[in-house]
């Protein structure tokens, strides 16, 4: 007698569609016979990692040993960076890991997890994996409508996810907006502010953009997540972290897997925090590329959502899946975001000057033929 594995899976997992990442450049190159395709699909840093991080990894030789399960050296450096106690830091296998830890630690079957329309796809995945109930609120101008989120809170609400800046739209919230929101959230509801792109959204370019890692003493129900995958260029190593009250961090560490961050990731992330020049250079390249792509969109009559991240969501005013496929066949990989309720948009990572120019050249060819 055969077993129906679908019936054996938990109800939450039965509802999950697997996360679909941007297509790898190697896969596209092999499929379409393209030499050196440009990948602008996954919001990676086109400059790659810091040389300090690369050199630090060269010094790691004893890979037969397990990594430091506590990540003490990296946690100490993160604590100094944010002027927090080490007990406030939780390390993750990417910040995605922290997003999953919070639902595993606090969400029971049937408990509600609130997030906005057009929010990061991992929020509902992490919720369903523990048989929680996803509650999606209507977006405001493609971003988080904080009042709608407040109004969605019930006695069953356990966690709220807010990305700032938001992925895939690039929208962002000011400190004043978020503090007013936090003051309205009951303390028994945990608020996760996902700051994966925070290093791009500095206050000089985005006035009022907050560093929510400094709010822990005011809001014991706050968890802020950061990653080394974006501006630090370490996406392939999978390392991120959360900052919270020590009490909340203690519960995250109860469900965190032993050795969830590997030795190379620990040493590379520690070194990356010392390279302010690389971060500054990455930010400057991103801003120049953002200006270039925004201007190119305006010239071509294409709408876009102003972004505080390292990507731009471009509006084609018609289903964009065909444009995505045509561009990929010509060696430029971008990200369709119909799964985010945005079928007319493509999300484009800001690349190097040459990559941005190639994107526009291929886009022009595709737009001439795809009418």
pTM of the model: 0.94
Q: What DSSP string describes 77-118? A: HHHHHHT--GGGEEEESSHHHHHHHHHHHH--TT-EEEEETT
The residue length of the chain stands at 371
Task: Report residue 26's pLDDT band, with 50, 70 and 90 as the boundaries.
Answer: confident
- Mean pLDDT, residues 122-149: 97
**For 310, phi and psi rounded to 5 degrees?**
-115, 40
Q: Count of CB atoms within 10 A of residue 332's CB?
A: 26
Task: Report residue 370's pLDDT band, with 50, 70 and 90 as the boundaries.
Answer: low
Every domain of the chain and the residues it spans: 21-48+277-369, 52-272
Is residue 344 within 8 A of residue 231, CB to CB? The reply is: no
- Mean pLDDT, residues 336-348: 96
Q: Count of CB atoms within 10 A of residue 293's CB?
A: 25
- Mean pLDDT, residues 110-138: 97
pLDDT computed for residue 333 by the predictor: 95
Is residue 328 within 8 A of residue 32, CB to CB? The reply is: yes
Q: Do domains 21-48+277-369 and 52-272 have the same CATH topology?
A: no
- Dihedral (Cα; 320, 323, 327, 333), 10-degree rounding: 10
Class at the top of the CATH hierarchy for domain 21-48+277-369: alpha beta
Strand partners, 335: 347
Is 13 a residue whose pLDDT tops 90? no
pLDDT over 90 for what percent of the chain? 87
Name the pairing type of β-strands 222-227 and 240-244. antiparallel
Task: Report residue 10's pLDDT band, with 50, 70 and 90 as the boundaries.
Answer: confident
For the chain, give me the number of helices (H) and strands (E)?
Answer: 14, 13
Class at the top of the CATH hierarchy for domain 52-272: alpha beta
């Amino acid at each position: 007698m055969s077993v129906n594995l679908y019936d054996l899976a938990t109800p939450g997992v039965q509802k999950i569609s697997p996360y679909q990442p941007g297509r790898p450049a190697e896969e596209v190159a092999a499929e379409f016979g393209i030499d050196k395709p440009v990948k602008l699909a996954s919001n990676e840093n086109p400059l790659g990692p810091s040389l300090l991080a690369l050199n630090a990894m060269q010094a790691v030789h004893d890979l037969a040993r397990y990594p430091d399960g506590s990540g003490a050296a990296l946690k100490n450096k993160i604590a100094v960076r944010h002027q927090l106690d080490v007990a406030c830091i939780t390390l993750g296998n990417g910040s995605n890991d922290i997003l999953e830890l919070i639902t595993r630690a606090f969400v029971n079957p049937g408990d509600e997890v609130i997030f906005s329309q057009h929010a990061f796809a991992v929020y509902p995945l992490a919720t369903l994996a523990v048989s929680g109930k996803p509650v999606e609120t209507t977006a405001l101008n493609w971003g988080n409508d904080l009042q709608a989120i407040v109004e969605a809170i019930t006695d069953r609400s356990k966690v709220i996810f807010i990305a700032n800046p938001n992925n895939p739209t690039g929208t962002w919230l000011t400190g004043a907006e978020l503090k007013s929101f936090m003051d309205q959230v009951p303390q028994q509801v945990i608020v996760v502010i996902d700051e994966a792109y925070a290093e791009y959204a500095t206050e000089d370019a985005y006035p009022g953009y907050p560093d929510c890692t400094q709010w822990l003493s005011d809001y014991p129900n706050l968890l802020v997540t950061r990653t080394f995958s974006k501006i630090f260029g370490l996406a392939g190593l999978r390392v991120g972290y959360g900052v919270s009250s020590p009490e909340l961090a203690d519960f995250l560490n109860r469900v965190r897997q032993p050795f969830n961050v590997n030795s190379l990731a620990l040493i590379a992330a520690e070194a990356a925090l010392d390279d302010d020049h690389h971060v500054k250079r990455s930010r400057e390249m991103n801003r120049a590329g953002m200006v270039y792509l925004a201007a190119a969109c305006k010239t071509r009559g294409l709408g876009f959502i102003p972004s505080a991240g390292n990507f731009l969501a471009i509006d084609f005013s018609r289903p964009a899946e065909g444009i995505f496929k045509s561009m990929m066949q010509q060696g430029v990989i971008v990200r369709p975001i119909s799964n985010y309720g945005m079928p007319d948009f493509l999300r484009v990572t800001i690349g190097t000057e040459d990559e941005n120019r190639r994107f526009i050249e291929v886009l022009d060819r595709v737009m001439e033929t795809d009418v």
